[in-house]
Amino acid sequence: MSVRKLIEILEHTEREIKMGGGTRAIEEQHRKGRLTARERIDILFDKGTFVEVNMYSQHQCYDFGMEKKRPYGDGVITGYGNVNGRTVFVYAMDFTVLGGSIGLNNASKIAHAQRMSVKAKVPMIGLVDTSGARIQEGSGTYSLLFYEHIRSSGVIPQISCIMGTCAGGGCYSPALTDFIFMIDKTSEMYITGPRVIKEVCKEECTGEELGGPKVHSQISGVTDFVSKTEQECLDQLKKLLSFLPSNCDEKPPIVETGDDPNRRCEELADVVPNSPKAPFDMKKIVRAIADHGDFLEVKARFARNMITGFIRIGGYPAGIVANQSMVMAGSIDSDASDKAARFYRFCDCFNIPILTFADVPGYLPGVKEEHKGIIRHGAKMLYGYVEADVPKILIVVRKAYGGSWAAMGSKTMGADFAFAWPTAEMAIMGAEGAVEILYRKEILAAEDKDAARKEKIDEYRNTFNSPYLYAGKMVVDFLIRPQDTRAHLYKAIRLLWNKPQEKISRKHGNIPL
Amino acid sequence: MGQEILAPIAGKILQVFVSVGQTVSEDDQVVTMEAMKMENPILSPYEGVVKEIRVKVADEVKADQLLMIID
C-alpha cells in the first residue's frame, strides 16, 4: 500500500472517531438537552488549539460480547489546549460511545491525562457524563481516578463539571477535586440511586430530589456552582480559571481591568444600618470594592450565613470570606465553618490572598448545633486560617466577637493587617452578656433595674467594644473610612504580594476533619 | 402535603408578612425573627401558596420549628 494511502486511511479513521457514537446517538444526546463531548470541548478551548491524546485507545474486555464492540476512544476524550490563551488538560466522557461508561482502560486513559497535566503543571478539567462503571469489566476502575486526583490535589487546580448523571462510586472522582459545577435539570449526583434507595430504605424519591443541583447547592453543599445551561457552565468555568494560577508554584494572574484601584466607594458610607439590630447585605460591600462590581461567588446558596468567592482589586485577585448578617444573624454554624475552611485552604493552595470581612456575633448556639459537632467543624475554620500563608487581611465591618472573631482572622491568628471601620464592635463577648456576668448583683440591687442595666451596657460597650481601644492595642492596624476600603486593600495586597511562605518541617498537619 | 418552612435559628417572631392563601415566590420574605440580638429575615425557599401559618407575632420559636407550610 502506498504511503499516501496509509495517510488517507488514518485521516478517514480520525474523521470516524470524531463522529463518536454516530448520528443517532448524537441526536439522542441532543434530544436530552445535552451537548456531545466534542461540542463541549469546542466551547471550552480557544479555536483550533485542542490536541487529542490517546484517540485510538480501545478497551481490552473480551467478555459479555464486548469483544465485538471496541470503538476507538473507548467513551472518553482526553487532551489539552488553550483556554483564553492558557493551557489546560481535559477529560470528557463521551456518552454517545458505550454510554461514557468507565472501564479499566479508559480510566487508565484519564489517569494518564491527569499525570500529564501534573507534568505540564496545568489545571485538569473533567467533563463528566457517564452511565457509570462498565459492569462487563468488573470493578476497580474508579480508584485509578481517585488515586490521581488525590496525588494532584493542591499541585494543580482540578475542576469537575457534571454534565449528566454521576452515580455510585464515580461521585467520589469529582468530590476529590477542587470545584464542582452542576447544570439545572440535567445534572444528578448520588452514591445510591432512587431504585436502590426504594428497595433498601423504602424511601421514594426522584433522581432530582435525591441529588439534583438544588439539593447539592443548598442542602449538601457538594456543588460549588449551578449553571442554567452547558454553555453557561463552561463560561463560568473559564471565569473561575481566570482567577487561578496554573499550579501551586505560580502566582495567580494579575489582569488589567481598567477599574481605578483608588476609586472611592461613596455608597459604603451608608451600608451598615444605624440600628445594631438591623441586618445588611455584606455582598454590597464585596461588590463595591471589586473591580467593576464583579464577584464570582462560590457555594452561593449553601450556608448563606457565610459568603465565599473571588474578586479582583485593581487587577489583583483575592479570595473573599465574609459574614452575612441577613442569614442567621451571620453566626457561624457547622456548614458555614466547613464552607469557609475549605475556601481558606483552596486559596492557600494556589497563592490567592485572603480578605475576610467580619460581622459575626458568634458561633451558633443551640443543642442541635453542639450535638452536630460545632466544636469539631468550627475548629476547621481556625485551622484553615492559620495554616494559610498567603497574604491575609481582616476588615472588621461591624461585629467581631470571641472565638468567631478568630475564625474570621485576627492579628494573633496570623492576619498580616487588620482594618476596622468606625462601626466595628469587637470584644470577647457582647456588652449585654458581659454586663449580666460582671454587674449581676449591682443590677439586681438597683431601684430601676433596666436603667442600671442600660447604663452598665453602655459603659462596657464604650470601654471594651470600641475599635479605638483595639487600634490603641495594635490589634487593629487601621481605622478607615468605609469609602476608602478599596484603595486600602489594593495597597495592602500589592504590599504583601510577595510575602514569603513559611514552611514548617512536618509531613502534614492534622486538620480536625 | 406542602413544603415546610422551618425556623433556621431559635428566636422570637417579630413580623409575619404573608397570610393564608397568598402566593409567594422563591426568596420572598415571609417572616422576620429576632435571634442573636438581630432581626433575621426568613425567606421562602419555595414558590407556591401559603397553606398554613403556625406562628404569630411575639411567639418564641426553637430552631427547626415549623413556621408555615407552602403548597
- pLDDT tens-digit profile of A130-175? 888 877 776 657 899 999 999 999 999 999 999 998 888 889 999 9
Provide the pLDDT for residue A140.
57
Provide the pLDDT for residue A465.
84
Provide the pLDDT for residue A72.
85
User: What confidence category does residue B1 fall into, taking pLDDT thresholds of 50, 70 and 90?
Assistant: low
A336 touching B, CB under 8 A? no
Provide the pLDDT for residue A278.
94
Cα angle value A403/A409/A414 (rounded, 5°) = 115
Q: Please tell me the distance from the alpha carbon of residue B66 to that of residue B71, in angstroms, as a whole number.
A: 14
B40 vs A328: CB contact, 8 Å cut-off? yes
A326 vs B36: CB contact, 8 Å cut-off? no
Provide the pLDDT for residue A500.
93
Q: Contact at 8 Å (CB) between A116 and A80?
A: yes
User: What confidence category does residue A66 fall into, taking pLDDT thresholds of 50, 70 and 90?
Assistant: confident
Cell numbers placing A338? 466547613
**Is A241 a residue whose pLDDT tops 70?**
yes
Residue A23, Cβ density class (10 Å: 0-12 exposed, 13-18 middle, ≥19 buried): exposed
Amino acid identity at B27: D
Q: Which residue of A has its CA nearest to B42?
A: A327
Best CA proximity match to A331, nearest among A428, A259, A401: A401
Rg of chain A taking only CA atoms, in angstroms: 26
Provide the pLDDT for residue A62.
74
Provide the pLDDT for residue A394.
98
Portion 280-319 of A in contact with B at CB < 8 A: none
Q: Which residue of A has its CA nearest to B62?
A: A366
Residue with cell 476608602: A484
B37 contact residues in A (CB cutoff 8 A): 276-277, 329, 361, 430, 432
Give the mean pLDDT of A243-267: 97
DSSP run (H or E) holding B51 = strand B48-53
Q: Tens digits of per-residue pLDDT, A193-228?
A: 888 888 889 988 999 999 999 999 999 999 999 999
User: What's the per-residue H, E or C state across A465-478?
Assistant: CCHHHHHHCCCCCE
DSSP string covering A18-54: HTTT-HHHHHHHHHTT---HHHHHHHHSPTT--EEES
**Nearest CA-CA distance, residue A365 and chain B, Å:** 9
Q: Contact at 8 Å (CB) between A318 and A282?
A: no
Give the mean pLDDT of A480-495: 98
Give the mean pLDDT of A496-504: 92
B34 contact residues in A (CB cutoff 8 A): 277
- Confirm whether the ipTM is greater than 0.90: no
Of A277, A326, A364, the CB nearest to B9: A364
User: What confidence category does residue A73 fall into, taking pLDDT thresholds of 50, 70 and 90?
Assistant: confident
Give the mean pLDDT of A3-30: 94
B38 vs A329: CB contact, 8 Å cut-off? yes
**Is B39 a residue whose pLDDT tops 80?**
yes
| Residue of A326, A370, A372, A404 to mutate, interface with B, max B Cβ within 10 Å | A326
B15 contact residues in A (CB cutoff 8 A): none
Portion 6-65 of B in contact with A at CB < 8 A: 8-10, 34-41, 45, 63-64
Average pLDDT, chain A: 93
DSSP string covering A262-323: T---GGGGGTS-SSTT----THHHHHHHSGGG--EEESTTSSTTEEEEEEEETTEEEEEEEE
Strand partners for A255: none
Strand, coil or helix: what is A172?
Answer: helix
A277 touching B, CB under 8 A? yes
B38 vs A364: CB contact, 8 Å cut-off? no
Q: Please tell me the distance from the alpha carbon of residue A152 to that of residue B34, in angstroms, as a whole number.
A: 46
**Is A506 a residue whose pLDDT tops 90?**
yes
Residue predicted with more confidence, B47 or A428:
B47
- How many residues are recorded in chain A? 513
A274 touching B, CB under 8 A? no
Provide the pLDDT for residue A289.
98
Give the mean pLDDT of B20-49: 93
Strand, coil or helix: what is A126?
Answer: strand
End-to-end CA distance of chain B: 7
b/e per residue, A311-344, with b = 16+ CB within 10 A?
bbbbbbbbbbbbbbbbbbbbbbbbbbbbbbbbbb
**Is A24 a residue whose pLDDT tops 70?**
yes
Provide the pLDDT for residue A70.
81
Residue A5, Cβ density class (10 Å: 0-12 exposed, 13-18 middle, ≥19 buried): exposed
Provide the 8-state DSSP code for A397. Answer: E
Residue with cell 481605578: A260
Of B9, B39, B45, the CB nearest to A277: B39
Portion 394-433 of A in contact with B at CB < 8 A: 430, 432
Q: Contact at 8 Å (CB) between A496 and A353?
A: yes
- How many inter-chain contacts (A to B, CB under 8 Å) are there? 46
B36 vs A276: CB contact, 8 Å cut-off? no
B40 vs A368: CB contact, 8 Å cut-off? no
A328 vs B10: CB contact, 8 Å cut-off? no
CB neighbours of residue A242 within 10 Å:
17
Q: Tens digits of per-residue pLDDT, A89-125?
A: 999 999 998 888 888 888 999 999 999 999 999 999 9
Q: Please tell me the distance from the alpha carbon of residue A207 to that of residue A210, in angstroms, as a whole number.
A: 5
Worst-scoring range by mean pLDDT, A383-397, A445-459, A469-483, B53-67? A445-459
Q: Contact at 8 Å (CB) between A391 and A354?
A: yes
A277 vs B37: CB contact, 8 Å cut-off? yes
**Is A61 a residue whose pLDDT tops 80?**
no
DSSP run (H or E) holding B16 = strand B11-16
Q: Tens digits of per-residue pLDDT, A312-364?
A: 999 999 999 999 999 999 999 999 999 999 999 999 999 999 999 999 999 99
pTM: 0.94
Best CA proximity match to A385, nearest among A208, A505, A511: A511
A361 contact residues in B (CB cutoff 8 A): 36-38
Residue with cell 473559564: A238
Residue with cell 472518553: A76
B8 vs A279: CB contact, 8 Å cut-off? no
| Residue of A214, A305, A327 to mutate, interface with B, max B Cβ within 10 Å | A327
Q: Contact at 8 Å (CB) between A7 and A44?
A: no
Worst-scoring range by mean pLDDT, A184-198, A231-245, A248-262? A184-198
B35 contact residues in A (CB cutoff 8 A): 328-329
**Nearest CA-CA distance, residue B30 and chain A, Å:** 14
CB neighbours of residue A64 within 10 Å:
11
